[in-house]
């Protein structure tokens, strides 16, 4: 449960890392795709502070080609939200998890029912990229009541006063969108990543993690000169897809996560 | 009825602004920009001039004598098919393009289904000297190659949407993804009364001219309003435009006609996609279903939020027709009136044909929202045995 100070398991784990001088690492993977539960456990064991699990949606407007493809494959293989949450609830991960999905899957289940099902599955956080600040009311009420930490996104386009309202409502951490664009790998770190991280650090004590466009350990280290950590999505999912999403994908992802961990620890 | 949405961008419980955070400041700016422009006589006058001198407004109201005799129903067509670029879409696009320019944007991004909105956007971009990129589902590109060529001829880039059902819904996804990356200099020129606030309201206001003209024209011809106003509904822009001229008068029946394979109001339940809460065809888990219609322009599993509100409140009713009825109506309008309709408004006529007994003796205004030139190649195959 979220205690009165608003600190749940997700935020506690990230603060613990940061407060001992480390940088937070949160890989993302697509739920329901191939051997995703093994990938999840492998990512956690390789040094993730928390793991973000995507529940695939038919129309993921915040996602680029890699996560779109993973979502389509998972849906074609029959992935559905209750089955993914059920499997998550039966899996020992070792670190907190956060679910990333889109508003319609939540709305279809019902805000309250979905929030309860996250809590029942032991999921700590929720990231809903098409529920911006103004639309968070009903969801946050349900999530708060169920003890689920709602992570809000903060984008480079937001004026300062909007960032302040976003960090005030965000729980777990604040997800700094590193660039103007959808998820996907980029060859270099966008200048906007450091800028948004700095602007957020100036207005909040919440952990500030940068996601979208963080593709390599070098980019992670660079942005973590300012940010408290990174979310790494497409780089992970691309490797899952390249290894056929089968048993080998766990090992490949473990290697990738470990390389991020080492780089961040070496600073 | 059909006024401004509330401060959260909702018509009743439908609408809102369910988009990635990156876009919210742009939507707030667009809302403010539109309010200012719409209240500015200079903007209105520039748009009115373009609508008159460039697009050819007002569009005529045609009394369909032979069709009326055939059906036993007095049928009038509001001739949006005679607008420049061949459909009602130009009304909205000229408004948005002028607004985008006023707001300092240099590039228009659009989605298109049948290609009518894409052609209209490419046209406005050419007229105003703006860059233009149109996303179009791969399936639609194959069945509407004439419009693809038109867009390219007009200087626009056409990019295929290859994900999902590869139709209009996926083109909207791609356009939104593009806008997330280019929001600083691009305007998303959305083609229907859908998407996040302020689009459903703004696009309807740009199409209000259809209903306003038709109300005056009906008064001249009939001495008052028609008994029934009928329009096809995909996203619902031409319907919203013509309904807006009659919604205040409770004696006028408003009828929206959806394709049976893309009937968000008829077969959907409320959901959230493309920035709005509205009726949506979806499965038990909330995955959006693929629409299937003979008409690319109506091949959409959602509907504009104001239509969901009009349906819930009972002010308008929504019905479905199947492809075979649409094909018959397409031929009927051609043979009785010398008007080859687009497949989209052929849906509206198809409903009138089916309901001709219950409509007997009444006056029905159909929004002839577009002309059928774009559909001729497709219909040559469909009608190969008949013509």
Do the chains contact at B18 and A64, CB–CB below 8 Å?
A: no
CA distance to partner chain B, nearest, from residue A77 (Å):
14
What is the predicted pLDDT for the residue at A1?
43
- Going residue by residue through chain A, which has 267 residues, state the pLDDT in tens, using 9 for 90 and above: 444 445 899 999 999 999 999 999 999 999 999 999 999 999 999 999 999 999 999 999 999 999 999 999 999 999 999 999 999 999 999 999 999 999 999 999 999 999 999 999 999 999 999 999 999 999 999 999 999 999 999 999 999 999 999 999 999 999 999 999 999 999 999 999 999 999 999 999 999 999 999 999 999 999 999 999 999 999 999 999 999 999 999 999 999 999 999 999 998
What does the block give as tokens for A135? Answer: 């639309």
Interface membership of B285 toward A (CB under 8 Å): yes
What does the block give as tokens for B288? Answer: 């959006």
Do the chains contact at B288 and A59, CB–CB below 8 Å?
A: yes
User: What is the Cα–Cα distance from B262 to B132, expressed in whole angstroms?
Assistant: 28
Do the chains contact at B19 and A61, CB–CB below 8 Å?
A: yes
Domain ranges of chain B: 18-50+89-199, 57-87+208-382
Q: Are B309 and B12 in contact (CB under 8 A)?
A: yes
At B137, phi and psi to the nearest 5? -60, 145
Which of A81, A133, A157 is the closest to B22 by Cβ? Answer: A157
Interface membership of B22 toward A (CB under 8 Å): yes
Establish if A137 belongs to a structural domain: yes
In degrees, rounded to 5, the angle at the alpha carbon of residue B193 between the alpha carbons of residues B367 and A59 is 125
In degrees, rounded to 5, the angle at the alpha carbon of residue A228 between the alpha carbons of residues A222 and A232 is 65
Half-sphere exposure in the Cβ direction for A153 (13 Å, CA): 29
Find, among A35, A87, A69, A17, the residue nearest to A261 by Cα: A17
Do the chains contact at A166 and B21, CB–CB below 8 Å?
A: yes
Interface membership of B137 toward A (CB under 8 Å): no
Number of domains chain A contains: 1
Q: Are B66 and B336 in contact (CB under 8 A)?
A: yes
What is the predicted pLDDT for the residue at B143?
82
Establish if A128 belongs to a structural domain: yes
User: What is the Cα–Cα distance from A245 to A239, expressed in whole angstroms?
Assistant: 8
| Residues of A annotated as catalytic (active site), given as ranges | 52, 63
pLDDT digits (tens, 9 = 90+) for B272-291: 999 999 999 999 999 999 99
**How does B255-268 read in b/e, with b if 16+ C-beta sit within 10 Å?**
bbbbbbbbbbbbbb
Do the chains contact at A130 and B286, CB–CB below 8 Å?
A: no
Interface membership of B180 toward A (CB under 8 Å): yes
Find, among A243, A228, A240, the residue nearest to A194 by Cα: A228
Find, among B252, B335, B342, B357, the residue nearest to B293 by Cα: B342
Q: Are B180 and B23 in contact (CB under 8 A)?
A: yes
Q: Which fold has domain B18-50+89-199?
A: Rossmann fold (3.40.50)
Find, among B228, B247, B204, the residue nearest to B319 by Cα: B228
Find, among A51, A46, A49, A53, the residue nearest to A30 by Cα: A53
Chain B: residue whose CA lies nearest to A178: B22
CA dihedral B137, B372, B203, B94 (to 10 degrees): 100
What does the block give as tokens for A89? Answer: 């609830």
User: What is the Cα–Cα distance from B349 to A37, expressed in whole angstroms?
Assistant: 54
Catalytic residue among B65, B84, B88, B307: B88
Interface of A with B (CB under 8 A): 57-62, 64, 68, 72, 75, 80-82, 102-109, 129-135, 152-159, 162, 166, 177, 179-182
Burial class (CB in 10 A: 0-12, 13-18, 19+), B356: middle
Establish if A251 belongs to a structural domain: yes
Q: How far apart are the first and last CA of chain A?
A: 33
CATH 1.20.1090.10 is the classification of domain B57-87+208-382: no
**How does B316-355 read in b/e, with b if 16+ C-beta sit within 10 Å?**
bebbbbebebbbbbbbbbbebbebbbbbbbbbbbbbbbbb
At B187, phi and psi to the nearest 5? -115, 135
Count of beta carbons in the 10 Å neighbourhood of residue B380: 10
pTM over 0.95: yes
Helix (H) or strand (E) holding B65: helix B65-71
CA distance to partner chain A, nearest, from residue B149 (Å):
27
Q: What is the DSSP letter of B204?
A: H
CA distance to partner chain B, nearest, from residue A64 (Å):
8
Q: Which residues of B touch A62 (CB under 8 A)?
A: 20, 177, 180
The dihedral through the CA atoms of B217, B219, B221, B227 has a sign that is positive
Pairing of the two strands B157-161 and B269-273: unpaired
Establish if A1 belongs to a structural domain: no
Find, among B187, B190, B175, B194, the residue nearest to B273 by Cα: B194
CATH of the domain at A103: 3.20.20.70
Interface membership of B25 toward A (CB under 8 Å): yes
In degrees, rounded to 5, the angle at the alpha carbon of residue B313 between the alpha carbons of residues B312 and B316 is 85
Chain A: residue whose CA lies nearest to B278: A104
Which of A60, A81, A153 is the closest to B21 by Cβ? Answer: A153
Burial class (CB in 10 A: 0-12, 13-18, 19+), A4: exposed
What is the predicted pLDDT for the residue at B164?
83
- Going residue by residue through chain B, which has 387 residues, state the pLDDT in tens, using 9 for 90 and above: 899 999 999 999 999 999 999 999 999 999 999 999 999 999 999 999 999 999 999 999 999 999 999 999 999 999 999 999 999 999 999 999 999 999 999 999 999 988 999 999 999 999 999 999 999 999 999 888 889 999 999 999 999 999 888 889 999 999 999 999 999 999 999 999 999 999 999 999 999 999 999 999 999 999 999 999 999 999 999 999 999 999 999 999 999 999 999 999 999 999 999 999 999 999 999 999 999 889 888 989 999 999 999 999 999 999 999 999 999 999 999 999 999 999 999 999 999 999 999 999 999 999 999 999 999 989 999 999 998
Burial class (CB in 10 A: 0-12, 13-18, 19+), A57: buried
Alpha-helical (H) ranges within B109-164 are 116-128, 138-143, 145-153
Do the chains contact at B177 and A64, CB–CB below 8 Å?
A: yes
What does the block give as tokens for A246? Answer: 């089968």
Task: Tally A–B CB contacts below 8 A.
Answer: 122
Domain that holds residue A192: 22-266
Which of A60, A81, A132 is the closest to B285 by Cβ? Answer: A81
Count of beta carbons in the 10 Å neighbourhood of residue B361: 8
- % of chain B exceeding 70 in pLDDT: 100
User: What is the Cα–Cα distance from B20 to B196, expressed in whole angstroms?
Assistant: 11
Q: Are A223 and A178 in contact (CB under 8 A)?
A: yes
Alpha-helical (H) ranges within B298-342 are 305-313, 323-337
What does the block give as tokens for B310? Answer: 């009009």
User: What is the Cα–Cα distance from A181 to A233, expressed in whole angstroms?
Assistant: 14
Decide if B18-50+89-199 and B57-87+208-382 have a common fold: yes
């Amino acid at each position: 449960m979220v205690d009165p100070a608003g600190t749940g398991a997700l935020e506690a784990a990230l603060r613990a890392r940061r407060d001992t001088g480390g940088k937070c690492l949160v890989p993302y993977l697509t739920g329901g795709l191939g051997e995703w539960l093994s990938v999840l456990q492998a990512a956690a064991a390789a040094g993730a502070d928390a793991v973000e699990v995507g529940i695939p949606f038919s129309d993921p407007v915040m996602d680029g080609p890699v996560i779109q493809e993973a979502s389509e494959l998972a849906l074609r293989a029959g992935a559905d939200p209750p089955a993914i949450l059920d499997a998550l609830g039966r899996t020992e991960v070792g670190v907190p998890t956060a679910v990333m999905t889109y508003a319609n899957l939540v709305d279809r289940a019902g805000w309250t029912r979905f929030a309860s099902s996250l809590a029942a599955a032991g999921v700590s956080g929720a990231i809903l990229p098409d529920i911006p600040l103004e639309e968070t009311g009903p969801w946050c009420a349900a999530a708060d009541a169920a003890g689920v930490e709602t992570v809000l996104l903060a984008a480079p386009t937001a004026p300062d006063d909007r960032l302040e309202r976003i960090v005030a409502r965000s729980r777990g951490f604040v997800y700094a969108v590193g660039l103007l664009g959808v998820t996907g790998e980029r060859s270099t770190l966008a200048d906007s990543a450091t800028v948004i991280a700095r602007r957020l650090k100036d207005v909040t004590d919440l952990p500030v993690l940068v996601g979208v466009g963080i593709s390599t350990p070098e980019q992670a280290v660079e942005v973590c000169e300012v940010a408290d950590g990174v979310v790494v999505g497409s780089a992970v999912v691309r490797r899952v897809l390249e290894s056929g999403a089968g048993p080998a994908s766990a090992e490949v992802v473990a290697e990738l996560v470990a390389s991020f961990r080492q780089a961040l620890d070496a600073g | 009825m059909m006024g401004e949405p509330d401060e959260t961008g909702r018509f009743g419980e439908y609408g809102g602004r369910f988009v990635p955070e990156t876009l919210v400041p742009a939507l707030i700016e667009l809302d403010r920009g539109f309010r200012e422009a719409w209240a500015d006589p200079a903007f209105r006058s520039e748009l009115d001039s373009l609508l008159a001198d460039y697009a050819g407004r007002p569009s005529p109201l045609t009394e369909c004598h032979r069709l009326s005799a055939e059906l036993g129903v007095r049928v009038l067509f509001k001739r949006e098919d005679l607008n420049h670029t061949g459909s009602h879409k130009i009304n909205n696009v000229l408004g948005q393009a002028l607004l985008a320019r006023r707001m300092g944007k240099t590039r228009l991004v659009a989605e298109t289904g049948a290609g009518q909105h894409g052609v209209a956007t490419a046209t406005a971009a050419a007229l105003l000297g703006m860059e233009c990129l149109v996303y179009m589902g791969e399936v639609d590109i194959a069945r509407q190659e004439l419009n693809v060529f038109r867009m390219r001829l007009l200087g626009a880039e056409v990019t295929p949407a290859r994900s999902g059902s590869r139709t209009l819904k996926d083109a909207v996804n791609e356009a939104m993804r593009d806008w997330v990356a280019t929001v600083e200099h691009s305007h998303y020129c959305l083609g229907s009364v859908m998407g996040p606030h302020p689009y459903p309201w703004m696009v309807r206001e740009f199409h209000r001219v259809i209903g306003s003209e038709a109300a005056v024209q009906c008064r001249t011809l009939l001495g008052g309003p028609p008994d029934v106003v009928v329009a096809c509904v995909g996203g619902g822009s031409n319907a919203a435009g013509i309904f807006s001229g009659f919604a205040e008068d409770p004696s006028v029946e408003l009828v929206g006609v959806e394709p049976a394979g893309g009937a968000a109001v008829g077969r959907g339940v409320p959901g959230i996609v493309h920035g709005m809460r509205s009726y949506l065809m979806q499965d038990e888990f909330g995955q959006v279903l693929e629409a299937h219609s003979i008409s690319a322009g109506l091949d959409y599993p959602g509907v504009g939020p104001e239509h969901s509100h009009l349906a819930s409140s009972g002010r308008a009713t929504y019905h479905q027709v199947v492809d075979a009825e649409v094909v018959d109506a397409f031929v009927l309008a051609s043979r009785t009136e010398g008007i080859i309709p687009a497949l989209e408004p052929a849906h509206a006529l198809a409903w009138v044909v089916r309901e001709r007994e219950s409509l007997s003796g009444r006056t029905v205004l159909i929004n002839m929202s577009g002309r059928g030139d774009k559909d001729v190649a497709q219909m040559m195959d469909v009608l190969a045995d008949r013509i």
